[in-house]
Structure 1
Amino acid sequence: MNLDQNLFDAEILIVDDERPNILLLERLLKASGYSRIRGTDDPRRVRDLLGERDTDIVLLDLRMPYMDGFQIMEAIQSTVEAGDDYLPVLMLTAEHDPRIKLRALELGATDFLLKPFDRAEVASRVRNILQVRLLNKRVRQQNAELESKVRERTRELDETRLEIIRRLGLAAEYRDNETGLHIVRMSLFAQAIALRHGLSPEQAELLMNAAPMHDIGKIGIPDRVLLKKDKLDSDEWHIMRRHTTIGAQMLSGHSSPLLRMAADIALSHHERWDGGGYPQGLSGESISLEARIVAVADVFDALLAERPYKKAWPEHEAIAEIERLAGHQFDPAVVESFLSALPELREIRARYQDS
C-alpha cells in the first residue's frame, strides 16, 4: 500500500449542524486533493452513514441538537469495538475549556480543530491523522494475511499428521493380514456410534482419527506369533497381548489430544466390561468411553469380514453376537448406541467393501 497514493482516496465524514461549515470544510478538503467526502447536518444519521462505507476519519462538531459530539463519540466507540478497528475523530469546536477537551479525549477524540477554520491547519491535521489511519489499516491487513497463512499452514500440518497416523494404522493391519478398508470402516463405525451415544461432533471426529491406531502395537509383535495360523499357546498368547502396551508406549508422551486418545484406545480396546479383558483387567466405566466404543466397532467389522482362517458372519448373526456380549465384553449402553447406529453402519459397509 502506497500511503501517498491512498491518502487522497480516504473516506471522510463531516458532521456539523451548520451547513455552511460542512460546505466550507468540503471546499478546503477538495482543494487539498480529497474527493471522497460526505457530510451531514443531522447527527442522528451518523451511525447509518458509518455503516454504509468504511470511513477513515470523522470531522465532528461538538455542540449540536439531538445528539452532541460526546454522544456521537460514544456511539462511534461502540462501533469501533464491535469492528475491532481504529476510527479517528477530529473534533470541531470553538471551546477553549480544558475540561471539555479532556472529556473528548477520554471518549476517543484524536485531535481538535478550532473554529474559525484555517485552511493550512485543516489540511495538516487531516493529513497527519489519515497517515496514522492508513498505517493502521495496512498493519491490520498484513496481520489478517499472516493469520490466514498460519491457519492454512496449521491445517496442512494437521492433515499431514492425520495421514501419517492413518498410514501407521494401515501398516499394523497389513502385518496382521488385514485389509486397509477394515481400518476405514471400523473408524467410521466408531464415529457413528459415538454420535449416537451423545458425543459432540468434534469428539466423535477426534475418535474417528484416533481409532486407526488401536492395533499399532502389533508392529512390535514377532511374525512367528502374529502370523501363526494355528492356535497360539499360552506363551505366544502372552506375547500377543503385549501389542496393547506396546501401542500405548509408542503413542504416549505427547500433549496432542489426538495422540493421548489414540494411546488410551491402543491400551484399553481389549478390556472387557466384566473385567475379564487385558492388559489391566479394567471393568465397567473405568475403561474409557472411547475404548469401549472402538471395541464394539472393531469386533463388529471383524465378524463381518472374511479372512483366510474364517468365513464372514451374516450381518444378523454378527448383530446378535454383539447383543449377546452386552454386559460381558461390551458396555450395554454402547451396544444400544451401536444398534441405533446400524443404518449408518450399513451405509459405511456399502461404501467401503473389500474387493
Structure 2
Amino acid sequence: MMYKQELTPEDLLKIIFEYTAKIANERQLNAVLVHMADMGRELILSDRCTVWLIDETNHEIYTTVAHGVDEIRIPFGTGLVGNAISAGEPIIIEDAYSDPRHNADNDRRTGYHTKSIITVPFRNNDGEIIGAYQAINKLTEVDYFTSRDLELLSLAASYAGKSLESVMLHQEIIDTQREIIFTMGEIGEIRSKETGNHVKRVAEYSYVLALGLGLSVSQAELLRTASPMHDIGKVAIPDAVLNKPGKLTEEEYDLIKDHTKIGHQLLKGSKRELLRTASIVAEQHHEKWDGSGYPAGRKGEDIHIFGRITAVADVFDALSAERVYKEAWPLEKIEKLFREERGRHFDPRVVDVFFAELPKLLQIRKRLADEE
C-alpha cells in the first residue's frame, strides 16, 4: 500500500479551518456528521472515521455516517466505542484483534480488516457525552495511532461536539414544527372525511417532484414540511357543506372554494418562513395553469412553483385513494388525465416530472397506504 506522510502544522491548520467553517455554516444534521467524519479522517490520516451518537430512548449507540458502511446500531456500553462512551475516556488500540472489547462481526460481514483503532468521546456545552469519534487503520508507515493523533482527534471532538449540539437542537425544533403542521393538516382533512395519510403522501410526493424539477434540497424540504397545511382552511367550512353527499349548489361550491383564502389568511402574517410557505400553498394549490382555477385565477408562472407542485401531488393522491363517495381510479386513467390536463390544469414541466418520477410516487403510495 502507499503510505501517507504525516501532515505539517500548516496542513493541519488548513484542514481545521476548512471543516470548522463548513460545520459552522451547516444546519442539516446529516451534513454536519459527514463533515465531522471527513475532518477526523483527514486530520489523523485514518482509512475510515465514524461518528457515533447516543440514542437514550433505545439505550443504544448508533451511526448514520460511517466511511464504508451503512447505519450501525449496538447496545449502549458494548464494543470499543461503547466502552469509551461509558467510561468517558479515549481508547487507542494498536491491534484490534488482540483486544477482547473489539467486535469483529462487521469485519466478517464486510471482509474489511480492522487493525488499529482510536476512539474519542465528545461532549456538549454542559459537559455531557453525546457521542464519539472512532477512526480505524492508520495510513502512515507507523501503522497505529499515537498520542499526537489523540490530541488532534480530541481537538476535533471538542469543537464538533459543541457545534453538533446546536444543530441537533435546531433539528428538534424543525421536527416539532413538522409534527404540529402535520397534526393541523390532519384536522382539516379529517373534517372532510380524508385520512391523515393523505397529507403525509402529498408531502412526500411534493418533495420528490420538487427535487425532480431541480429545486434545492432545502427548498424541497421546506415544501414537504409546509404542504400538509394545503387544506387547513377547511376548518372554517360548515360540515353540512364540506361533507354533503350530493351535488353542491353554486353558493355551496363558492363556500368550499373559500378554504384557499381562509388558509392563506390564517398563515400569511407569520414571520416564520415555514408558515409563510404554507400560506402560499394553501392559497394557490387550486389555481390552474390556464388561469381557470381559484381563488384568484392566476395563470402560468404567476402561480408559485410550490402551488403548482402541490396541485399535482394533491390531485394524484385524491384520484388514487378510495373514499366512501368514490372508487380509487386505476393508474391508467390517472395517467390519461394528467396527459390531458398538461398545460391546462397543470404546469407542463411538473407533469413531465410526475411521469419521470412515477415509480417513486407509487412506492410512497404503497408505503403510506390507508389502513383498511
TM-score (norm 1): 0.60
* 1:141–1:296 Cα change, 3 Å: closer
CA distance in 2, matches of 1:49, 1:272: 62
Q: Is 2:249 aligned against 1:233?
A: yes
One-letter amino acid of the counterpart of residue 152, structure 1? M
Residue 140 of structure 1, CA deviation: 10
Contact 1:300 1:319 in 2 (8 A): no
Residue 258 of structure 1, CA deviation: 2.1
* 1:230–1:253 Cα change, 3 Å: same
Residue 252 of structure 1, CA deviation: 1.5
Structure 2 SS opposite 1:271: coil
Superposed CA offset, 1:116-135 (max 9, x none): xxxxxxxxxxxxxxxxxxxx
Residue number among 226, 237, 241 corresponding to 1:210 in the alignment = 226
In the other structure, the counterpart of 1:178 is 194
In the other structure, the counterpart of 1:150 is 166
* 1:228–1:147 Cα change, 3 Å: same
In the other structure, the counterpart of 1:266 is 282
CA distance in 1, matches of 2:306, 2:6: 54
Q: Is 2:361 aligned against 1:349?
A: no
Say which structure is richer in strand: 2
CA distance in 1, matches of 2:160, 2:243: 54
CA distance in 2, matches of 1:79, 1:313: 61
Say which structure is richer in helix: 1
* 1:278–1:156 Cα change, 3 Å: same
Structure 1 SS opposite 2:215: coil
Which ranges in structure 2 are unaligned for 5 or more consecutive residues?
A: 19-153
CA distance in 1, matches of 2:282, 2:202: 14
Aligned residues: 234
Contact 1:197 1:334 in 2 (8 A): yes
Superposed CA offset, 1:82-135 (max 9, x none): 5359xxxxxxxxxxxxxxxxxxxxxxxxxxxxxxxxxxxxxxxxxxxxxxxxxx
Contact 1:247 1:263 in 2 (8 A): yes
In the other structure, the counterpart of 1:255 is 271
Contact 1:251 1:260 in 2 (8 A): yes
Superposed CA offset, 1:179-226 (max 9, x none): 111112122111122222222222222211111110011111111211
One-letter amino acid of the counterpart of residue 317, structure 2? D
Residue 347 of structure 1, CA deviation: 1.0
Residue 345 of structure 1, CA deviation: 1.1
Deviates more, 1:143-152 or 1:233-242: 143-152
One-letter amino acid of the counterpart of residue 352, structure 1? L
Q: Is 2:124 aligned against 1:191?
A: no
Identity %: 43
In the other structure, the counterpart of 2:182 is 166
CA distance in 2, matches of 1:49, 1:330: 59
- RMSD, matched Cα: 2.6
CA distance in 2, matches of 1:78, 1:354: 56
Structure 2 SS opposite 1:282: coil
In the other structure, the counterpart of 2:302 is 286
Structure 2 SS opposite 1:354: coil
Which ranges in structure 1 are unaligned for 5 or more consecutive residues?
A: 1-47, 52-75, 86-137
CA distance in 2, matches of 1:50, 1:286: 55
| Structure-to-structure mapping, 1:1-355, within 5 angstroms | 51=8, 80=13, 83=16, 146-355=162-371
* 1:249–1:139 Cα change, 3 Å: farther
One-letter amino acid of the counterpart of residue 243, structure 2? L
CA distance in 1, matches of 2:363, 2:327: 22
Superposed CA offset, 1:289-342 (max 9, x none): 111111011111111111111111111101111111111111111111111111
Structure 1 runs (4+) deviating above 6 angstroms are 138-143
Please tell me whether Structure 1 or Structure 2 has the larger radius of gyration of its CA atoms: 1
Residue 141 of structure 1, CA deviation: 8.3
Superposed CA offset, 1:215-246 (max 9, x none): 01111111121122122212211111111011
Residue 81 of structure 1, CA deviation: 6.4
* 1:344–1:82 Cα change, 3 Å: closer
Residue 144 of structure 1, CA deviation: 5.8
One-letter amino acid of the counterpart of residue 187, structure 1? A
Structure 1 SS opposite 2:290: coil
